[in-house]
Amino acid sequence: MKFDLKVLLTCVSVGGGNSLVSRLELDALCLKRSQRLASFIVEKLNPFNLPVQGCVEFQANVVKILGQLTIVEFLNKCSIRKQTKKKDTVNIASETFSKDDDMNDGLPLLIFDHLQKYSSLLVKALHKSSLSSFLDAASDREPKVRSHVASILEQLLWANLIHPTHLYAISEVVLEKLGDPDNEIKHSFVRMLSHVLPTTIYICGICDWGTVNTCRPKFGNSCNLDWKQVFALKQLPQQLHSQQLVSVLSFISQRWKVPLSSWIQRFIHTCRSSKDFSLAQLQETGSSSVNGVGLDIKVDEDILERICSVNILAGAWWAIQEAARYCITTRLRTNLGGPTQTFAALERMLLDIATVLQLDTEQNDGNLNIIGFSYAHLLPMRLLLDFVESLKRNVYNAYEGSIVLSCASRQSSMFFRANRKVCEEWFSLAYVSQ
């Protein structure tokens, strides 16, 4: 179909270099063909109706072809107008119009009529649902597609074709793409921060007054939660080994000083393909016979691999959420020791954050430069804080229960109910130390 559309374009590519037909006649013929082709495509292959709407790639190609046809139509109208004016003034002895007059006289009206003719297609193309589909393309597995999203977003912003209320959703995507495994794509989105963040901060401010809705639109029967919420609330089929927990804790404690991109995707693949869980371990999770809102979250089976293949930060977020759930299952028995030793080790990690941040501030003279300086070395500390927060949430769920989280196993619930006061005191002191 894409090839057929390109063939159709050849019908309006009429060359007139050595033709015996006048230029005016060629332009009129080309104009007529472009108008008929555009009408035919809109009628038979309307990109905003099913089934074309259901295929994003083909929909984009149809819109692209329509754009090219409308360009041909507009240029031929301009050429016909120019040829007609020259013919009308050929017998005038002196030049009646200057070059500027010839280019501008009547041209605004021609532009207005052209925009009015195709305004409905423009509005549909820039509708919020189309914007949502376009932003979803930023997470496409094909690097070339993700790269195009960054450049097109920048062009749309410079052309003032995006409503300010949509900037919040765009900022969410831009910030997510800072975790793209492709450095070139990541840097493309980093450059966009200066364009979208100032206005987004303003939008968030007026959102407090209920003036705008900052929620990113969702359509169809898909889950209305973003990947952070899904990974935090829903237990996915993938589970950690004890050795994988060691990797997560070593990374967030900064004992394992390696780039996140060098191991996280392999780490997730290993979890996905793990087959050596014993029956006792599977029973210990207690997730197969639970009633709760969390189980009503419908997601694709490959959601973890699909999202993390284009966002390594999402992979790290899932890893710490799963590590917190693992600690509940093992009742805080980790490679760090028993429950008391695990809490003590986490407390030392939290205390180290203040020291590292102080040294970092002194080395950089307190200056913040998002574009020119990498803060990747601070990521483990950010993940440590997120891990403690997730652990607190899951500990509370273990002894108190929750309407959004799956219930812990009976053994874990009994353990944390018996030690509820100790856990609450530790979390209180932990947040003071932060």
End-to-end CA distance of the chain: 59
User: Does residue 379 surpass a pLDDT of 80?
Assistant: yes
Distance CA 187, CA 191 (A): 6
Q: Which of 51-55, 127-131, 162-166 has the lowest mean pLDDT?
A: 127-131
What is the value of pTM for the model shown? 0.64
Contact 38, 69 (CB under 8 A): yes
Model pLDDT, residue 43: 85
**Which is it for the CA torsion 157, 163, 167, 173, positive or negative?**
negative
Q: Which of 128-142, 220-234, 413-427 has the lowest mean pLDDT?
A: 220-234
Among 179, 176, 180, 178, which Cα is nearest to 168's? 176
Express each pLDDT in 48-65 by its tens digit: 778 877 776 777 788 888
Model pLDDT, residue 433: 59
Model pLDDT, residue 327: 95
Contact 290, 203 (CB under 8 A): no
| Residue 143 neighbours by CB under 8 Å, 6+ apart | 182, 185
Q: Which segments of 71-230 are extended strands (E)?
A: none
Confidence of residue 101 (pLDDT cuts 50, 70, 90): very low
User: Does residue 67 surpass a pLDDT of 50?
Assistant: yes
Q: What are phi and psi of 104, to 5 degrees?
A: -105, -25
Reported as type and span, the H/E element at residue 267 is helix 264-272
Distance CA 322, CA 339 (A): 18
Whole-number CA gyration radius for the chain: 30
User: Does residue 420 surpass a pLDDT of 90?
Assistant: yes
Contact 151, 188 (CB under 8 A): yes
